[in-house]
A and B are shown apart, each in its own frame.
Chain A
Amino acid sequence: MIYTLETSRFNEIEHTADIGLSGEGETLPALFASLAFGMLQIITKVHRQADEIRRQITFDEPSVDDLLIRWLSEINYLMQVNHFLPSSIPDLKIDETPDAFLLRACLHGSDSSAFPDMIEKEIKAVTYHQLAVTNQDKCYTARVIFDI
């Protein structure tokens, strides 16, 4: 499955000082992709369809909460330091072992450094505050608060 902004399901959560997102997906990868594109929408409303740059991400974490935080933090870092603007996620797999959750992803996107004005918000960090990944009625959901 190729994940894009159009396939993503997320909503902004009201928060006095910062910004939150709730997301959902039929699978854990779909949820992760939804929140990634939701975070992207916080950072910029401009959506480029370009895919001249490809990035592979692989890591593991002891829990699915940790995995989600790491996933969003990695993308945030790539955007801030490498000016990488994702446009699609053609490959995203999450496997569970007895000790850890393993994520492997390939992201396509473009270089945003030529368009600095398109960036509207800086996310300082992805927080654990009230983080909850749940699976109910064949639907994965999560809410995340971003420190901005």
Chain B
Amino acid sequence: MKYKTFQIEKIDDTLFEVAAAGGMRVPGRIYASEKMMGTILREDESLQQVINVAHLPGIQKYALAMPDIHWGYGFPIGGVAATDLEEGVVSPGGVGYDINCGVRLARTDLCEGDVRPHIQKLVSNLYNTIPTGIGSSGAIKKLSEKDMSGLMRKGMSWAVENGFGDADDLDHTEEQGCLPGADPAIVSKRAIERGKPQLGTLGSGNHFLEIDFIDQIYREQEAADMGLFPQQIVILIHTGSRGCSYQICDDFLKVLTRASQTYHITLPDRQLACAPIRSSEGEDYFSAMAAGANFAWNNRQVIMSLARDVFLQTLSISAHDLNFKLVYDVSHNIAKIEEHKINGWVKKLCLHRKGATRAFPPGHPDIPSSYQKTGQPVLVPGDMGRYSYICVGTQKAMEETFGSSCHGAGRLQSRKKAKAMGRGRDLISEMAKMGVLVQAHGYQTVAEEMPYAYKDVATVVDVMDKAGISRKVARLKPIGVIKG
């Protein structure tokens, strides 16, 4: 098949390749079904963005896209690219404005039947405790500059030291909840000001906190290793680093646009602005990005801790009976230094994952000891009405996608169309009939986030499972949601 002047080859039922041509330094590879590929070619410019990413200096092997690929800024959402540390570049377009937007899953000892009778009160108490929505201020005090500096440097251990969760949570978080090298002094005053009131807030748009139950288990041993069982109540949290990182990305897009000119890097898209990783600009971006990432881990840790308290108080049960524990926390917008094999040699590379999740295999030293036999949990949220998935990483992911998998469903409809479809309908009641109690900041949010506005995440995880990149472990169904 063809896309503009580019030739696309079908490698197998789940993988397509765009041959390197023109300024592309490597081929592009897209994980998708044939049906999805037809949609991708018709709908938006995301394939062009894969081709653009392949122009990055120092890019290794392929410019990759996961099956939830759609239009982003610079990189497509679902984009993965690895660049050589000595000869390659780092690009904020490969991370996104919401640095370390990610997902965490917490488990309990409760079953759906234990919680369903109390769902109204639980959702209401969660909504009243965890700030949602635009510009929401934290449920904790507004941070000082010293606090901001501390949490940016220390990562998630700052939250643990301040009474949110415990040390075991660090072991169950990607990077132990801290990207090294964070330097708050590099972060602009504006970014600090935006972040100060926002620790412990969900934000708006597609961010959420969900109460789910496990309705299907596909791999029993892996599920048991994660402490999961049928009908179990779990909590899924999706949020990132809020205004702090939007500002960091904005600030550094300017810096790296100038740097692209300084280092004579010509790229087809301004939002791919970049700098050599070993340059002062590249190193500064890494330091600021790490600071933003560390804010996000603290944010999710505080929210999870608040949610746990709500469960204890609302259900009047003991911590022992609730047995609330973090299963895992993954980032899906980040750039990190990782070791991967290139032509048989182990090399340190800069891994950009934008709307893509790390998916390390069993035995990898960077995943918790409790998951050494299982592989790293990969958390893939769907829309608020249908389902989400827990998967695990594989060795094939390491070989083919730099240990990366998909991150979510992707929108089907624009917000405008979704709102139009919802006009005159009682959407909260419709969701209640689907068995999901929704509490959100406004009617507009509910309309924009209805299941009909999203693609079916099952098709995305099925492609990854069929490709052997990540394996399905369990499916979650929502019963309560809070949104901004």
Contacts and interface: CB of A to CB of B under 8 A. Distances in A.
Interface string B152-174: 00000000000000000000000
B134 A125 contact: no
A83 B193 CA distance: 13
Nearest to A123: B246
A14 B417 contact: yes
A16 B194 contact: no
Contact of B414 (A15, A77, A129): A15
Interface stretch (A46-54, A100-108, A113-121): A113-121
Interface stretch (B5-13, B70-78, B305-313, B463-471): B70-78
A77 B190 contact: yes
Contacts of B413: 16
Contacts of B247: 77
A127 interface: yes
Contacts of A80: 135, 194, 243
Interface string A6-17: 000000101111
Given A19-B415, A80-B194, A119-B135, A125 B71 contact: no
B271 A16 contact: no
A89 B253 CA distance: 28
Interface in B261-317: 270-271
Contact of B204 (A17, A117, A121, A127): A121
A20 B243 CA distance: 20
A48 B133 CA distance: 21
Nearest to A70: B254
Contacts of A83: 135
A13 to B, nearest CB: 9
Listed residue (A16, A125, A126) with the most chain B CB atoms within 10 angstroms of its CB: A16
A147 interface: yes
B97 A124 contact: yes
B134 A119 contact: yes
Contacts of B246: 124-125, 147
B147 interface: no
B77 A120 contact: no
B250 interface: yes
B417 A122 contact: no
A122 B205 contact: yes
A55 B447 CA distance: 35
B44 A16 contact: yes
A68 to B, nearest CB: 13
B414 A16 contact: yes
Given A73-B250, A124-B246, A125-B250, A147 B73 contact: yes
B416 A128 contact: no
Nearest to B45: A130
A2 interface: no
Given A16-B44, A17-B77, A77-B190, A122 B411 contact: no
Interface in B182-240: 190, 193-194, 203-205
A37 to B, nearest CB: 18
Contacts of B271: 127-129
B442 interface: yes
Given A80-B243, A119-B134, A129-B271, A124 B414 contact: no
A127 B73 contact: yes
Contacts of A148: 204-205
A17 B98 CA distance: 14
Interface string B421-457: 0000000000000000000001010000000000000
Contacts of B460: none
A73 B134 CA distance: 16
A84 B411 CA distance: 32
Contacts of B204: 121-122, 148
Nearest to B136: A116
Listed residue (A116, A124, A127) with the most chain B CB atoms within 10 angstroms of its CB: A124
B416 A14 contact: yes
Nearest to B190: A77
Nearest to A45: B444
A81 interface: yes
Nearest to A79: B135
B249 interface: yes
Contacts of A19: 415-416
Contacts of B253: 128
A120 B250 contact: no
A85 to B, nearest CB: 12
Given A14-B416, A73-B250, A80-B243, A122 B203 contact: yes
A146 B224 CA distance: 43
Contacts of B203: 122
Contact of A121 (B97, B134, B412, B417): B134
A16 B442 contact: no
Contact of A116 (B135, B193, B415): B135
A120 B442 contact: yes
User: Lowest 3 CB-CB distances: which A-B pairs, in order?
Assistant: A122-B134, A124-B246, A119-B134
Given A14-B416, A16-B412, A116-B135, 6 more contacts: A16-B43, A16-B70, A17-B77, A80-B243, A125-B249, A125-B250
9 contacts: A17-B70, A43-B134, A116-B133, A119-B134, A119-B135, A120-B442, A127-B73, A127-B271, A147-B97
Interface of A: 12, 14-17, 19, 43, 73, 77, 80-81, 83, 116-117, 119-122, 124-129, 145, 147-148
